Amino acid sequence: MDKSYLSDKTIVAASREFVCIRLLTYESKSEGKFLESIFQGRNGTLENTVFALLAPDGTKITRGGRSPDRVFRGRTQEERATAMVNAMKKFADEYESKVSKSTSRTLPTFVDFRRALNAASCDLQPLVVIAGKDAAATAKAVTMVSEIAWSDEFVGDFAYATVDDIKELAKIPNATTPGIYVIQANEYGTAGRVLAHRPAVDTITAKDALVVLREGANRFKAKSKDSRQHIRDGRRKREHWEPEIPVTDGNGRPGR
């Protein structure tokens, strides 16, 4: 999340009329292909960041760019934010009668825990993980947590993931039994620690789930990153992340 732009209160308010999608770029072949159809860099390849506003059918209603700054015009950040808000309001009004007003919302989980942990680290968010003893228990907890996730108190505050096997959390100390976990990823998204936990997903109540998310949110400490220092420290510590598809952004190191 760009703390100086996308966290602008007027943009956050306007975004409530939209489905905000956080895709994975080089961490998903299918999502990367979709992003490449929205915007390509000077070399005609997928870049690390992509932005556009889309219609309900997935077609672009603005041009694509690396960021909102590249799409909305203005001399200052405030002017560009205002231009973005005005466009969002215009399109929300235009499409209001064409979309369903269902109040049922699914939990926005990542494709797997490994990539969810990495994205949570990148976005400086706590990660909620639901680990049921079986598919039925997990599904029940997902429905419960989804209602909390979309509440005014928590909307947009967490990343989410589910796991079918608790062994997927092997890099998280003390995450050894089914339940709901709130995890803080390390600075490189390769490991983490438990901030809050409630065991036995199948017996957790809505009140239990609310408490564990509040505990996790209160204990989470976001630490901003300087990209150059982050890269230097990562090389020194021999941190390595293997993307699903090759990195083609000219500002990055290919394949890393």
Same domain? For 72 and 120 the reply is: no
Residue-level pLDDT at 255: 43
For the chain, percent of residues with pLDDT exceeding 90: 56
Residue-level pLDDT at 100: 64
> Is 106 within a domain?
no
Same domain? For 130 and 75 the reply is: no
Same domain? For 194 and 128 the reply is: yes
Mean pLDDT of 221-231: 86
> Is 252 within a domain?
no
Residue-level pLDDT at 124: 92
Residue 256's pLDDT band, with cuts at 50, 70 and 90, is: very low
Same domain? For 134 and 39 the reply is: no
Task: Find the CATH number of the domain harbouring 195.
Answer: 3.40.30.10
Residue-level pLDDT at 89: 94
Same domain? For 149 and 215 the reply is: yes
> Is 224 within a domain?
no
> Is 141 within a domain?
yes
Q: How many domains does the chain have?
A: 2
Same domain? For 84 and 129 the reply is: no
> Is 88 within a domain?
yes
Mean pLDDT of 95-100: 74
Per-residue three-class SS string for the chain: CCCCCCCCHHHHHHHCCCCCCCCCHHHCHHHHHHHHHHCCCCCCCCCCCCECCECCCCCECCCCECCHHHCCCCCCHHHHHHHHHHHHHHHHHHHHHHCCCCCCCCCCECCCHHHHHHHHHHHCCCEEEEECCCHHHHHHHHHHHHHHHCCCCCCCCCEEEEECCHHHHCCCCCCCCCEEEEEEECCCCCCEEEEEEEECHHHCCHHHHHHHHHHHHHHCCCCCCCHHHHHHHHHHCCCCCCCCCCCCCCCCCCCC
Average pLDDT, the chain: 89
Same domain? For 65 and 135 the reply is: no
Lowest mean pLDDT among 24-33, 169-178, 198-207: 198-207
Q: Order the strands of the 179-185 sheet from edge to edge.
A: 159-163, 127-131, 179-185, 192-199
Same domain? For 119 and 94 the reply is: no
Mean pLDDT of 118-136: 92
Same domain? For 81 and 145 the reply is: no
Residue 121's pLDDT band, with cuts at 50, 70 and 90, is: very high
Residue-level pLDDT at 101: 64
Residue 1's pLDDT band, with cuts at 50, 70 and 90, is: very low
Mean pLDDT of 203-229: 90
Q: Which residue has the higher pLDDT, 13 or 172?
A: 172
pLDDT of 187 strictly over 60: yes
For the chain, percent of residues with pLDDT exceeding 70: 93
> Is 250 within a domain?
no
Mean pLDDT of 182-208: 92
Long-range own/partner contacts, residues 37-42 (CB < 8 A, 24 or more apart): 38/64, 39/64, 39/65, 39/66, 41/66, 41/248, 41/249, 41/250, 42/250
This prediction has a pTM of: 0.85
Mean pLDDT of 89-116: 84
Tell me the one-letter amino acid at 37: S
Residue-level pLDDT at 12: 83
User: What is the residue range of 29's domain?
Assistant: 9-98
Note the residue count of the chain: 256
